[in-house]
């Protein structure tokens, strides 16, 4: 297990490097929220989810919904690392003609099942998938990564209510609680605390973790799968911009990309010499 | 006489028996929208989502993403209005196979008043790329439209009404998405109509015939994609067009026809509909008269436009 965790940590480090390089190249996109979510996305794709990059539409796959769609770079670098599409495609992020749209688009990108990016809509879709899979008697699970600022959208709570009502225990929501949104601290813009209490009150199984501790992420995902009768929310305390001190805990890096001056230092932080 | 929503309930339940991929969702109005008929027959495949339309749309998109064919229903004002951005982002943008069947469209909702009378739903649905928009004339066409919507792969918005409406089409009428139907032939002008206004146009055409005006009735069941061929033919052959719909004249059928003809075959035109205002409480038939949505208005407009031709 220790080895597995170390492998995942190394994988996450490499994915962070890819995020920084991709966003440096595109000069457009969301740095902070991609770096805060990447450990969870990494654990899902390289540890938890059943999926087949050679056959993206494989019936037996688990489903993933990046509800905080602006963290698309985190998803794209992970899909590329898995082999869903060539890593070179990442250099075309947000360019005209690229399948890598600013926010995830199921029409063009292999491995992306739904369109997200307009906040608050992903959990509803994830629950719809969960209901459909159950209806077919399938064991497959559905994972959604949400932002904490995103929880300000009322539709999230409509979906939370419905998922508990329908006992969607094949659904797991991971909340990337980095505490920052575009205009500043989530607590100051519109306080959503306590996230854990809110999901509990809606009838969810709630697990609180450090969203950058790979061991805790993996354990929480296993616990979520074992829990029956209710969906699980993993409330993950994270750091926006995690891994690069230049970007850490800065709301200003929500939608700003690394510039030429910052790139070498960013890569150095991530243990990357090239 | 049958309400289009009743025909929907019947058709959906029938389709449910033929295809187990079909699921239905409602937002606490299943008795009114008639999805309850399906729900009773197939309780496992029916999801009441409570009074939460945004989530209902997203849930339907998720169900479609795992291969289901979801039909979601509520009143038009809530389906198109409350759910607009979810329909745009979660359904139309990914071209999800979701069918939005909105009942209680237009002013014939009646007593509930302007807050519940959707007069702009067709316009806002029509503006969304990838969306197909259908407004059946009667029960028979509704059954065909529901069947066609289920067979079509992609988002469809079907607008139905609350009240019983006269039959326009015979039993077994085959509905084809994107195809208009010339219900009454004519040469002096064409009524291009949709929904319950088609029956009114048929009545108007009969009366006009007695006074020597030959009015064609072109029923447009699919507002988007518009049957450009039949619309152009009507403009070229009759030289005068009167559109009619139980909807705002902004962006609905009248708007669609005007946009198309302005660029291809500028033609004398009059749009009968609701002139940029909200509805109000009253009985359905009173409201149709109040807003001029009846055969009498069509007759007057026909006389007027034919006189302008000369």
Residue B171 counted as domain residue: no
In this model, does residue A246 exceed pLDDT 60? yes
Residue A15, domain extent: 2-269
In this model, does residue A124 exceed pLDDT 60? yes
pLDDT digits (tens, 9 = 90+) for A71-117: 999 999 999 999 999 999 999 999 999 999 999 999 999 999 999 99
Closest by CA position to B227, among listed B157, B271, B180, B259: B180
The pLDDT value recorded for residue A251 is 86
Residue B241, domain extent: 181-309
One domain for residues B197 and B102: no
The pLDDT value recorded for residue A255 is 87
Contacts with A, B 69-108, CB within 8 Å: 70, 85-86, 89-90, 93-96
In this model, does residue A274 exceed pLDDT 60? no
Residue B222 counted as domain residue: yes
The pLDDT value recorded for residue A167 is 98
Q: Please check whether residue A124 touches B, CB under 8 A.
A: yes
Residue B175 counted as domain residue: no
Cα-trace Rg, chain A: 17
**Residue showing tokens 């959707």:** B118
Residue A30 counted as domain residue: yes
**Which residues sit opposite B202 in a β-bridge?**
none
Contacts with B, A 161-180, CB within 8 Å: 161-162, 165-166
Q: Nearest-CA distance from B290 to chain A in Å? A: 38
How many distinct structural domains can be found in chain B? 2
Supply the CATH number for residue B213's domain: 3.40.50.920
Q: Please check whether residue A231 touches B, CB under 8 A.
A: no
| Model confidence band, residue B152 (pLDDT cutoffs 50, 70, 90) | very high
pLDDT digits (tens, 9 = 90+) for A64-78: 999 999 999 999 999
Residue A274 counted as domain residue: no
| Model confidence band, residue B8 (pLDDT cutoffs 50, 70, 90) | very high
- Chain A and chain B share a number of CB contacts under 8 A equal to 107
Supply the CATH number for residue A49's domain: 3.40.50.970
Query: What element of type H or E holds B303?
Result: helix B295-309
Residue A142 counted as domain residue: yes
pLDDT digits (tens, 9 = 90+) for A134-166: 999 999 999 999 999 999 999 999 999 999 999
Question: Sign of dihedral through CA atoms B158, B164, B166, B170?
Answer: positive
Choice between A63 and A251, residue whose per-residue pLDDT is larger:
A63
Residue A22 counted as domain residue: yes
One domain for residues B59 and B127: yes
Residue A94 counted as domain residue: yes
In this model, does residue A273 exceed pLDDT 80? no
Domain boundary among B138, B165, B192: B165
How many distinct structural domains can be found in chain A? 1
B106, B161 Cβ separation under 8 angstroms: yes
| Model confidence band, residue A192 (pLDDT cutoffs 50, 70, 90) | very high
- Binary contact (B23, A113; C-beta < 8 A): no
Q: Nearest-CA distance from A169 to chain B in Å? A: 16
* B242-246: average pLDDT: 98
Mutate to test the interface with B, among A67, A105, A124 (most CBs of B within 10 A): A124
Please give the residue of chain A at the shortest CA–CA distance from B69. A132
One domain for residues B92 and B133: yes
* B104-126: average pLDDT: 97
ipTM of model: 0.96
In this model, does residue B149 exceed pLDDT 80? yes
Residue B49 counted as domain residue: yes
One domain for residues B148 and B208: no
Residue B234 counted as domain residue: yes
């Amino acid at each position: 297990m220790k080895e597995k965790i170390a492998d995942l940590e190394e994988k996450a480090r490499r994915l962070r490097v890819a995020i920084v390089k991709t966003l440096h190249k595109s000069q457009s996109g969301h740095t902070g929220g991609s770096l805060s979510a990447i450990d969870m996305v990494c654990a899902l794709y390289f540890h938890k989810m059943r999926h087949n990059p050679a056959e993206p539409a494989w019936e037996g796959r688990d489903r993933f919904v990046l509800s905080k769609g602006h963290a698309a770079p985190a998803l794209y670098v992970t899909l590329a690392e898995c082999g869903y599409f060539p890593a070179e495609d990442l250099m075309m992020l947000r360019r005209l003609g690229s399948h890598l749209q600013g926010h995830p688009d199921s029409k063009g990108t292999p491995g992306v099942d739904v369109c997200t990016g307009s906040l608050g809509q992903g959990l509803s879709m994830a629950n719809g998938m969960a209901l459909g899979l159950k209806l077919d008697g399938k064991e497959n699970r559905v994972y959604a990564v949400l932002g904490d600022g995103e929880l300000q959208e009322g539709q999230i709570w409509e979906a939370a209510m419905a998922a508990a009502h329908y006992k969607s225990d094949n659904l797991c929501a991971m909340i990337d609680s980095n505490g920052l949104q575009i205009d500043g601290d989530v607590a100051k813009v519109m306080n959503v605390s306590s996230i854990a209490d809110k999901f509990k009150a809606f009838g969810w199984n709630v697990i609180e973790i450090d969203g950058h501790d790979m061991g805790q992420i993996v354990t929480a995902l296993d616990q979520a799968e074992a829990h029956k009768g209710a969906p699980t929310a993993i409330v993950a305390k994270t750091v926006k911009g995690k891994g690069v001190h230049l970007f850490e805990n800065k709301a200003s890096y929500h939608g700003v990309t690394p510039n030429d001056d910052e790139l070498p230092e960013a890569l150095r932080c991530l243990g990357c010499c090239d | 006489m049958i309400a289009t929503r009743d025909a929907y309930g019947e058709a959906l339940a029938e389709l449910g028996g033929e295809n187990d991929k079909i699921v239905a969702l409602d937002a606490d109005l299943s008795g009114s929208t008639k999805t309850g008929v399906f729900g009773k027959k197939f309780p496992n495949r029916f999801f009441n989502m409570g009074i939460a339309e945004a989530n209902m749309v997203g849930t339907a998109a998720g169900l479609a993403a795992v291969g289901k064919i979801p039909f979601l229903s509520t009143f038009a004002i809530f389906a198109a209005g409350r759910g607009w951005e979810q329909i745009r982002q979660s359904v139309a943008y990914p071209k999800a196979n979701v069918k939005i069947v909105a009942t209680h469209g237009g002013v014939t909702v009646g007593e509930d008043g302007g807050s519940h009378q959707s007069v702009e739903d067709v316009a806002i649905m029509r503006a969304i790329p990838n969306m197909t928009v259908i407004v059946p004339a009667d029960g028979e066409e509704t059954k065909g439209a529901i069947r066609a919507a289920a067979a079509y792969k992609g988002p469809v918005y079907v607008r139905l009404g609350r009240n019983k409406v006269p039959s326009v089409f015979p039993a077994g009428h085959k509905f084809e998405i994107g195809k208009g139907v010339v219900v009454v032939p004519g040469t002096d002008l064409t009524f291009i109509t949709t929904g319950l206004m088609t029956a009114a146009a048929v009545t108007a055409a009969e009366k006009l015939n007695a006074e020597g005006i030959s009015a064609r009735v072109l029923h447009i069941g699919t507002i988007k994609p518009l049957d450009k061929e039949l619309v152009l033919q009507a403009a070229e052959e009759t030289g005068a067009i009167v559109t009619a719909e139980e909807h705002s004249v902004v962006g609905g059928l009248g708007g669609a026809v005007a946009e198309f003809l302005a660029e291809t075959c500028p033609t004398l035109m009059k749009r009968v509909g609701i002139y940029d205002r909200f509805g109000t409480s009253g009985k359905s038939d009173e409201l149709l008269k109040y807003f001029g949505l009846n055969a009498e208005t069509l007759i007057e407009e026909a006389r007027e436009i034919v006189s302008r031709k000369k």
